[in-house]
Structures are given as C-alpha cells and as structure tokens.
Amino acid sequence: MNRIVNKSGSGIVNKSVLWRKIKKQLVWYSFIIATIACLLVLTYTPMLTTIKYSFYKISVLGYGETFIGLKNYTALLRSSGFNKSIVNTIILAALNLTVIPLGLILASLINGLGKTRAQSFYRIGFYLPNIITGVSVVLIFQIVLKADGGILNRFLSYLFQNEIKIGWLSDSSIAKLGASIISTWSGLGYAMLINLAGLQSIPREIYEASEVDGCNRIQKWLHITIPQMNTTFIFLVTTNLISSFSRFTDLYILGQNSASGRPGGSLQSILMYVYQFSFETPNYGVSSAGAIILVIIIFTVMVVNLKFTGFFKKGKE
C-alpha cells in the first residue's frame, strides 16, 4: 500500500505518508523496546564491564583501578587453586555425562512399551525426581549418602555382609562420585525424556524396511536407532556440559554454604572459584578473568555443538 502512495508527488501526502511510516515503526518498536533496554543495561553493559575488569587490578572499587593487561589471566592460570577447580569441573562434567547413555537405555525400554498407559506412567514416574527442588535434593542425599547409617552404605553392607562406611560426601577422594550420584539421580529423568522424544521422532518406515531385511531387535537398535539419534545426543551432551561447567548450587549447598568446595576443595567448581573472589574475598579483577575463562570454555562447547547440528548451514539458507 505504501508503495502506491509513495509515487504520488504532492508534498502534503508525502508528509502524512512519512508520519504513517514512522508511526508504524514506533508501533513495532513498542513491542520490543522493554526487552532491548533490559538487555542493554542489564546484560551487555555488565558483560563488557567483566571484560574490562579482567584487564585491571582492582583493590577497592572506584579507587585505584590500574590497567595490568593479561596479568590477571596469567596469575589465574598459574594458581593451583584455579587449575584445581578446572580439573574438578572437568571430572564432574565427565562423570555427569553417564546420565545420557543411562537415559537412552531407559527411554528405549519405555519406548518399547508402545503408546500405552504404561508408557505414560513410566515417562512421568521417572521424570518426577527432576522436579524436586535443588536444595531438597541435597538435603535428602546428605542423609542417603551418609557414611554412618545412610541407605546406600546400609545396602552395600547388607550385600557384602560386611560393615561398609564410605564417606560418599565427606571423604574428599570420593566426594566427586557422591556428587555425581546426586546429579545423576536428578538428571536421569530429563535425559530419558529428551531421548524418548528423539526415539519417537524416528520415522517408522525405516524400521519396517529393516524388518523386511530380517533385522533383529539389537541390530535395529545399533544400526538404525543410534545413528538416527545423533542430533539428540549432541543436544544432550551440549546442554549437559554447559550446565556441568557452570555447576554451582548443589556443590555450594553440599559445602555448607561455602564456595570452598568442601570436602577439602575437591568439589570446588570454576564458578565457585569465581564466586569466592567476587563475594567472599573480593578481588574483582581476578574473578572477572575467571568468569571470562569460564565463558570461553562454555562458548567453545556451544560452537562445537552448533557446528555438529548444522546450525550455521541452516542460517545461510
């Protein structure tokens, strides 16, 4: 419509057309302005500030910020505490990945039931732990995994007819395993659900064709299901890694609300290290550099994922 009116030469009409156009722009902008303003002030500004701070030495904020280049980074990468937190985080992330194959097996079993009431019962039942609030999960598992009288140790003692007192959460050499039991318990339902959705989106025809060729269940699973689930796996691995790398809440609560990573620093994640230098013993330069390193790690994981899932190709279309 605008195009037609545009061609008419009269100045008055042009003015009103211009006004109409501006008004139209303003109307559309009124839909997005709050979000954009929020992002500018509360996301982009602080993000750039983090980058800036990471190059500065800041003792007291507002007094004496001196530019020191990459010194915060080099100091961090040389500090044993930060490196330990990176190692901790990587080990915890790796342990946490087991939830994906477990979820796939569970999803395959549930999917085998067909679209029945049994299927929807199990789908909902296994998802239930995922809904329990993080703090509650930690409080419950502090007792379940207790060295003396916890359910797991009692069960193991019964199984081996021998008194077993493993400090799942109190012994620093094994606490990572204990913490992973917790995250597996609460994350299994999600892994199952996404895997199940992936399984159910595989076209039936492929299976039917393979039946004609005389494939058995296991062959079908290996040669059709696993390759077809590629995108689902990549999605799960990425989201899992991202949340593992920025893991904080449960480990912080396990350490009795301290970011030191009790027991014995074995559960200090990168984010907890950053938190320590932001809020417990403030050194904003160091904590900002730590945050940037964390972001770089997470970003790398994301880009690798996007490459695998062909996001860049889709964007070009």
Residue 122 contacts another protein per CB under 8 A: yes
Residue 113 contacts another protein per CB under 8 A: yes
Contacts (Cβ under 8 Å, ≥6 apart) of 206: 224, 228
What value does the CA radius of gyration of the chain take, rounded to a whole number of Å?
27
Residue list 8-27, contact with another protein (CB under 8 A): 24-25, 27
Residue 31 contacts another protein per CB under 8 A: yes
Min dist. Cβ of residue 311 to another protein (A): 9
Contact segment (CB under 8 A) with another protein among 9-17, 146-154, 164-172, 202-210 equals: 146-154
CA–CA gap between residue 306 and residue 61 (Å, rounded): 38
Contacts (Cβ under 8 Å, ≥6 apart) of 210: 219, 220, 223, 224
According to CB under 8 A, which one of 19, 83, 211, 279 is a site residue for another protein? Answer: 279
According to CB under 8 A, which one of 55, 56, 73, 141 is a site residue for another protein? Answer: 141
Give the rounded distance of the alpha carbon of 49 from its chain centre: 24
Give the rounded distance of the alpha carbon of 258 from its chain centre: 22
Residue 172 or 278 with smaller CB distance to another protein? 278
According to CB under 8 A, which one of 14, 136, 173, 281 is a site residue for another protein? Answer: 136
Residue list 153-192, contact with another protein (CB under 8 A): 154, 185, 188, 190
Contact segment (CB under 8 A) with another protein among 28-36, 68-76, 164-172, 204-212 equals: 28-36
∠ CA 211-228-210, rounded to 5°: 10
Quick one: which of 67, 134, 81, 68 has its CA closest to 274? 81
Residue 287 contacts another protein per CB under 8 A: yes
Residue 194 contacts another protein per CB under 8 A: yes
According to CB under 8 A, which one of 205, 256, 314, 316 is a site residue for another protein? Answer: 256
According to CB under 8 A, which one of 75, 248, 304, 308 is a site residue for another protein? Answer: 248
Count of residues interacting with another protein (CB under 8 A): 94
Residue list 67-96, contact with another protein (CB under 8 A): none
In the stretch 41-70, what mask flags binding to another protein with x, by CB under 8 A?
Answer: -xx-xxx-xx--x-------x---------
Min dist. Cβ of residue 197 to another protein (A): 4
Structural contact between residues 76 and 290, judged by C-beta atoms closer than 8 angstroms: yes
According to CB under 8 A, which one of 3, 12, 63, 149 is a site residue for another protein? Answer: 149
Min dist. Cβ of residue 128 to another protein (A): 7
Largest separation between any pair of C-alpha atoms in the chain: 98
Residue 4 contacts another protein per CB under 8 A: no
Residue 123 contacts another protein per CB under 8 A: yes
Min dist. Cβ of residue 10 to another protein (A): 25
Residue 110 or 266 with smaller CB distance to another protein? 110
